[in-house]
Structure 1
Amino acid sequence: MVHIFFVISGFALSYKPIKALHARDLDKCYTALASSTFRRAFRLFGPCVVSTFMVLCLRQMGYLGPAQETVVGELWKWKGALLRQITWGWDWDRDLMPAYDIHLWTIPIEFAHSMLLFMVVMMLSRVKMHVRVAGVVGLMGYCLMCGKWAGFEFLAGLFLAEVFLLKQEGKRQKEWEGGRVEGGEEGGLVMGPGMLVKGLQMVMVLMGLFIGGWPNRNADKTPGISWFLEKTPLPFAEMDHLAPQKFWFGLSAVATVWAVGELDFLRKFFEGGLAQYCGKISFAVYIMHGPVMDTIQASILGHGVIPARGQPGQANFKEALPAVGVKGYFGVKTPAQITVSWFIGLCMIGPFVIWAADVFWRVVDNRIVDWGKRLENWCLDEDTGPSPRSQGYSVAA
């Protein structure tokens, strides 16, 4: 999901500047880039500051652990997590495992590569379209050669935005010419793909789902995944034990995002109300699922039977504990039991995550986005041109 999100981020962040370039309006392109660059830190870091402060408070209240002995010590540790982990974009794509919410490891990576994306768009903004596309493809290949999976994914999103706009322009041109497309679809960038291509796109989606199940352990023993592991190219094959999955996650994420946009029945589903709502709260879900799970997961899932440890009468002796919770009821000894326990736990914990995310989205996330816009407009030098708001720019990806 992280890798798919990075591809979508690359698409969303580059869409309006690239659209302005297709319209040959450099002013709109630069306005969009300036606005997005100015507000990006507020958009990414602001909600994380609030959520981790909430975790700090929960720790000091005894609901989460471990807590520091004093509030001052907790605040000092929190400051370090913010400055050296959550907002630390200097390590590019390294997992910094942030304190207070380890799931926020992607935030500094997202910020650093957003800046890279804006720089690439600006660098290629005045060149010919085919040179720009070739340059982006070349940089994508360079990122893979250097083992930089996140850079590849963001630039792939830029490439997909370019392809999408070219397809839209081809469609409009065909309509202006009054032509009819065979079978009622567009093809190439203009003429629609046939059944063979549609079948290939469906295979891409299914393959993306399969590769998305790559385990963190025993990948070499997992049917199908072991083949991809053996075919992993350098430098990903030798970086660390998780690097091979990141290479294949990146490729499959790009293929999946493109295929979903091309397959009508999937595109219509994701354009529907439920999917659009999920998209609106997705960042809040990402931020809140860790704190919510850390708060209630243990009490709901429980555990199986835990045998006694140590010798009776000794200091390290711990009595046996009976099975409790979902895991205790359904068991966790077989793959089937583990799957059932996971699914029941998802059904029980999921609504709490969605509710917390919805509240966070309405109370925190939306307001931070609005404050970022107001701050930008307040700081704006009116002599440089129209404000981003007057131009209709609102980048919130």
Structure 2
Amino acid sequence: MLHSVPRFPASPVFSRFGTRQSWNSVLRPLLPSFVADYLFPDHRPTWRLHSTSYLDGLRGIASVIVFICHYTEENFGALTASYGIHEDEPPGLLQLPYLRIIFSGRPMVHIFFVISGFVLSYKPIKAIHARDLDQCYTALASSTFRRAFRLFGPCIVSTLIVLYLFQTGYLVDPAPLDTWTKQFWRWKGAVFHQISWPWAWDRDLRPAYDIHLWTIPIEFVHSMLLFMVILMLSRVRLRIRQAAVFGLMAYCLACGKWAGFEFLAGLFLAEVHLLQHAQPKAWESSDVGDEADKDVLASIMKVLHLSLIFVGLFIGGWPNFDADKTPGIRYFLAQTPFPFAAMDPLAPQKFWFGLSAVFIVWSVGELAFLRNFFEGPVAQYCGRISYAVYICHGPVLGLFQEPVLGLPYSPPTGSPGMPGFKKPIMGWGVKGHLGVANSTQTTVSWFFGLCIIGPMVIWAADVFWRAVDTPVVNLGKKLENACLDNAEPSPRSQGYSAAA
């Protein structure tokens, strides 16, 4: 059912843009897309689900959790500690296992990488299964050509915006440089040597202008690794290809290369997904006993996948500090194999995050109720703007978190007239009005601050998605088409090929 378009009041301002078409052209780019679609239903896009749409939804929810993670860590750090391990601080409910997944952003990065491996592999692997190697090679060439535009293009635009905000003083850390020229050359160095420099593999290069973009070069270089592996194995038999991919996954873990393991695991899951859709599952096959036997097998598999989700979400609550003191987590920490156990303090969690990400992505696709949730409208919307949320949330937090959250009341220290006396500081913002003196106040302040800043992030990401992200994707496609060599082979080249 279409909603009627509201009538705008007659005034000199509105009369200038009095038609629906003119208002559509003015307002639509500035409003969140779901608001614009409601006001202007004539231009509402249609979104169709496909067999892997649930992965888009999962990636979208994960990107929102990454934003909530950085919001929480930067403003309510006390909530990130494990429940009850600090006797001098009363615990809050959000610190409990499973509940704390709402702000556990680090495991979400590993889910991103597994999903990327799956999605980037899906089309060429599908062509291999169809015995269409030409289509496989075309898909690989196209993905390789456009990958840099897809990943780096939006980051270049976003960091240019951050450059402007730094130099004009809207963002205060770091301070503005003496000239715009110096600021530009500093930005160029960050883009060349941190954001778009992929050959550090899985190192965190901590990019200037937006430290959250540290995953982008890792994403790019492992995309190239993935394409090379698919090309290498495109002509071999199915079981040999699966064994080779599984062996490379094990090799990456043995070398401490968590991102390589995750991308290749995505490739492995993509092939499993295609095989499952090509033939009935074991418990659905007519070769497996009677209906009762099938029901038992289906129940066993459901329990298995629920257990994997259950364990994966528990591991996802791994704290940033004091893992060795956290019940349950300290067990996994003690079981971390070499070399992850000896690399650095964060390496053990990366090992377990990688394993749990693989099992979560696999199990979500096997459990109908989870797959339906991630195919729902909210998750799918988050999926469409997921990359924009990831890119935009850092600058938006830098601009608005301090004005919105403010500071809590600070009592006076010392005695009036004596050295070291400090006057009380009146609280302001969310923290000043609601307080952070105990876990209840902190949780309430966290929630209300999130309700204010969250829509700002979604709005900014929605606009960035339509104004920058989608046009960059389209630009990559146009450049690829413009550069393609579609000429017919010459007689000389055909004779050379025959002679070869």
TM-score computed with the length of structure 1 as normaliser: 0.89
Question: Does residue 98 in structure 1 map to residue 207 in structure 2?
Answer: yes
Partner in structure 1 of residue 71 of structure 2: none
What percent identity do the matched residue pairs reach? 64
**Structure 1 residues 182 and 21: alpha-carbon distance in aligned structure 2, compared to 1, 3 A threshold:** farther
- State whether structure 2 residue 409 is matched by structure 1 residue 305: yes
Matched to 1:146, the amino acid is: C
Deviation sequence 1:302-352 (CA, Å, 0-9, x none): 222346689999999975422222223333343333333222221111100
Which residue number corresponds to residue 137 of structure 1? Answer: 246
Match of 1:388 in 2: none
Q: In 2, distance between residues paired with 1:317 and 1:41? A: 57
Distance 2:260 2:421 in 1: 51
Residue aligning to 1:391: none
| 1:266-305 mapped onto 2 (5 Å cutoff) | 266-305=370-409
Aligned amino acid, residue 286 of structure 1: Y
| Aligned with residue 229 of structure 2, among 120, 138, 160 | 120
User: Which residue of 1 is the match for residue 152 of structure 2?
Assistant: 45
Aligned to 1:263: 367
- The answer (yes or no) to whether the contact 2:194–2:217 under 8 Å persists in 1 is yes
Q: Please list the CA deviations of residues 1-41 of structure 1 after superposition, one character each: whole Å capped at 9, or x if unmatched.
A: 11101000000000000000001111000000000000000
Equivalent-residue separation in structure 2 for 1:72 and 1:311 (angstroms): 50
Matches within 5 A, 1:11-22: 11-22=118-129
Match in the other structure for 1:249: 353
In the alignment, the residues of structure 1 paired with residue 222 and residue 459 of structure 2 have an alpha-carbon distance, to the nearest angstrom, of 30
1:88 corresponds to: 197
SS of 2:201's equivalent?
coil
State the one-letter code of the partner of 1:242. L
Partner residue in 2 for 1:5:
112
Distance 1:289 1:230, change over 3 A: same
State the match for 2:139 in structure 1: 32
Equivalent position of 2:168 in the other structure: 61
Question: 2:283, 2:297 within 8 Å by CA — same for their partners in 1?
Answer: no
- Say if 1:359 and 1:132 are closer, same or farther in 2 by CA, change over 3 A: same
Conserved? CA contact 2:409–2:425, under 8 Å: yes
Give structure 2 stretches of 5+ with no counterpart: 1-107, 490-500
Distance in 2, Cα, partners of 1:371 & 1:314: 67
Question: Structure 2: how far apart are the matches of 1:90 and 1:286?
Answer: 22
The 1:315/1:246 distance shift into structure 2, 3 A limit, reads farther
State the Cα deviation string for residues 327-381 of structure 1 (Å, max 9, x = none): 2333334333333322222111110000000000001000000000000000001
Deviations 1:170-208, CA, capped at 9 Å, x for gaps: 139999x999996699x7xxx995212212211222222
SS at 2:202's partner residue? coil
Aligned counterpart for 1:161 among listed residues 246, 265, 270? 270
Query: Per the alignment, do residues 70 and 104 of structure 1 end up closer, same or farther by CA in structure 2, a change over 3 Å counting?
Result: same
Q: Is the 8 A contact 2:282 2:288 kept in 1?
A: no
Give the whole-Å Cα distance in 1 for the aligned partners of 2:299 and 2:281: 23
| Cα distance in 2 for residues equivalent to 1:184 and 1:15 | 34
Structure 1 residues 316 and 255 mapped into 2: Cα distance closer, same or farther (>3 Å)? farther
- Equivalent-residue separation in structure 2 for 1:327 and 1:359 (angstroms): 29
The residue type equivalent to 1:114 in the other structure is: S
Distance 1:181 1:101 in 2: 58
* Structure 1: distance between partners of 2:194 and 2:164: 19
Secondary structure in 2 aligned to 1:171?
A: coil
Partner AA of 2:256 in structure 1: G
| Partner residue, 1:395 | none
Q: Give the letter aligned to residue 56 of structure 1.
A: L
Q: Which moved more, 1:145-154 or 1:329-338?
A: 329-338
Matching of residue 201 in structure 1 with residue 308 in structure 2:
no
| CA 308–54 in structure 1, closer or farther in 2 if over 3 Å, else same | farther
In the alignment, what sits opposite 1:228?
A: 332
Q: Which amino acid aligns with 1:112?
A: V
Residues 252, 378 of structure 1: alpha-carbon distance in 2 compared, 3 angstrom cutoff: same
CA gap 1:181/1:330 in 2 versus in 1, 3 angstroms: farther
User: Match for 1:118: what amino acid?
Assistant: F
Change (3 A) 1:338 1:26: same
Q: CA RMSD in A?
A: 2.9
Bigger Cα Rg? 2
Give, in whole Å, the separation in 2 of the partners of 1:310 and 1:67: 37
Q: Which amino acid in 1 is paired with 2:277?
A: Q
Distance 2:275 2:190 in 1: 43
Aligned to 1:394: none
2:221 partner SS: helix
Corresponding position of 2:14: none
Deviations 1:36-81 (A, max 9, x none): 0000000000000000000111112221022222111110110011
| Farther off after superposition, 323-332 or 375-384 | 323-332
**Could you tell me which residue of structure 1 aligns to residue 442 of structure 2?**
338
AA aligned to 1:20 is A
Distance 1:224 1:156 in 2: 26
Letter in 1 for 2:429: G
Cα 1:90–1:122 shift into 2, 3 Å: same
With a CA cutoff of 8 Å and minimum separation of 6, indicate the structure with the bigger relative contact order: 2
Over 3 Å counting, the alpha-carbon distance change for 1:316 and 1:279 in structure 2 is farther
- Aligned partner (choices 485, 492, 498) of residue 381 of structure 1: 485
For normalisation by structure 2, the TM-score amounts to 0.71
**SS at structure 1 position matched to 2:320:** coil
Stretch moving more, 2-11 or 202-211: 202-211
Paired with 2:414 and 2:142, the residues of 1 have a C-alpha distance of 62
Give the residue type in structure 1 aligned to 2:268. Answer: F
